[in-house]
Amino acid sequence: MTGTCVYDVIIAGAGPAGMTAAVYTARANMSTLLVENSQPGGQMTKTEAIENYPGYRHILGPDLSREMLEHSVKFGTEVLNGNVEEIKDDFPYKTVLVDGYPYQAKSVIIGTGAKHRSLNIPGEKELSGFGVSYCAVCDGAFFEDLEVVVVGGGDAAVEEAVFLTRFASKVTVIHRRDELRAQRILQNRAFAHEKIEFIWNHTVEEILGDGMVSGVRIKHTITGEESDYPCVGVFIYIGMDPLTSCVNRLGITNENGYVLVDENMKTSIDGIFSAGDVNEKMLRQIVTATGDGSIAAMSAQHYVDYLEEKLQTEQEVKEHDNASY
Ligand code: NAP
């Protein structure tokens, strides 16, 4: 389906939330357009192995991405490669600008995700998935009895450092200042833990290793002195950025840029739903994204039924009024 048609739903972003939503909407016979500007799969495509998605004891991220995409396409989802630039609320329909071209839909599901901030240092990209990780819940279990470092001093860094002690023999938090940003309760938990150590006033300048991480090069922020610190895992927790530039003008995000939804994945705008990591939420995982996606799909289905009924009634009233003259 292309050109001037109005889709029942356009889904922005083919991560696990968007692809699950597509499985549900397409299977419910809703005309579905799924738009993605890079590889379908989102952050999954950058995950070496996934061991916490039920039904798969071990699956490679790119393989699960392909499975989900094929699943949604099987039920008739149309996939478009392009960048969603803007989503507009043009009642009765929504307009989705993809690479400058307007597509129309009765409903929209936002599933654009969030991006972990990178240190942008040598070795980070090359060793991502080979000791460098941005997700302790996903990858922590690979570091049983091994020494890892966590970079950052916020809630996520400290919380995940504590989580990593379940597996690692030693967790060293490297922070650029001499005090943590994290909540006091999390700080106390980390300070009290026998497996956790801190390196203060240091930045990580390079991740070392040939094929696998073997250490980090760190630099004292005051003296400038550099040294190498051995480890086999580097967990980077220096914040996340939601990918919401396409909805900036809609006023549906909070002060950190995350989309605000109710329990049915409804935003404050009728017919616009949102699912997955782009939402303000507690746990950002594949399994929570797929759950959100299914709920958003069901909400979109109810909305489209309601809209069609409303438009039909308005049309009948108009025809009736015209006939009365
Ligand atoms: P965050 O609060 O922004 O903290 C980022 C940390 O990374 C800060 O300590 C910061 O250092 C450091 N950092 C930033 N850029 C860096 C760089 N280039 N090099 C080295 N260090 C760098 O991010 P977050 O911890 O991901 O948390 C995000 C939001 O989620 C926060 O609102 C947080 O409260 C919330 N959250 C809550 C919980 C919870 O309540 N249990 C758990 C996780 C996250 P400085 O301190 O020096 O700026």
Domain limits, the chain: 6-116+240-324, 132-236
Query: For atom 39 of ligand 1, which residue has the closest CA?
Result: 155
DSSP 164-180: HTTT-SEEEEE-SSSS-
Query: For atom 38 of ligand 1, which residue has the closest CA?
Result: 155
Q: Which residue among the candidates 8, 135, 246, 277 is catalytic per the annotation?
A: 135
Beta carbons of 136 and 38 less than 8 angstroms apart = no
Decide if domain 6-116+240-324 falls under CATH 3.50.50.60.
yes
For residue 128 the two structure tokens come to 């991502």
Q: Does the active-site annotation cover 231?
A: no
Query: For atom 48 of ligand 1, which residue has the closest CA?
Result: 181
Average pLDDT over residues 58-72: 94
HSE, side-chain direction, 13 A CA sphere, residue 316: 6
Q: Do domains 6-116+240-324 and 132-236 have the same CATH topology?
A: yes
Cα(37)–Cα(99) distance, integer angstroms: 10
Mean pLDDT for all residues in the chain: 95
Q: Which residue among the candidates 5, 63, 89, 139 is catalytic per the annotation?
A: 139
Distance (Å) from CA 311 to ligand 1 centroid: 47
Residue 322, pLDDT > 80, answer: yes
Residue 48, pLDDT > 70, answer: no
DSSP 46-65: G-SEE--BTTBSSEEHHHHH
Average pLDDT over residues 118-127: 97
The pLDDT of residue 3: 47
% of the chain beyond a pLDDT of 70: 98
Q: 6: Cβ–Cβ under 8 A, 6 or more apart, which residues?
A: 93, 104, 105, 106
Q: Which residue among the candidates 5, 89, 99, 138 is catalytic per the annotation?
A: 138
Closest CA to 148 of 161, 135, 159, 157: 161
Higher pLDDT: 168 or 116? It is: 168
CATH number of 132-236: 3.50.50.60
Residues with CB under 6 A from ligand 1: 119, 151-157, 159, 176-177, 181, 203, 237-240
Place 1 in a pLDDT band, splitting at 50, 70 and 90. Answer: very low
Helices (H), the chain: 16-27, 61-74, 136-139, 155-164, 184-192, 286-324
Cα(85)–Cα(105) distance, integer angstroms: 15
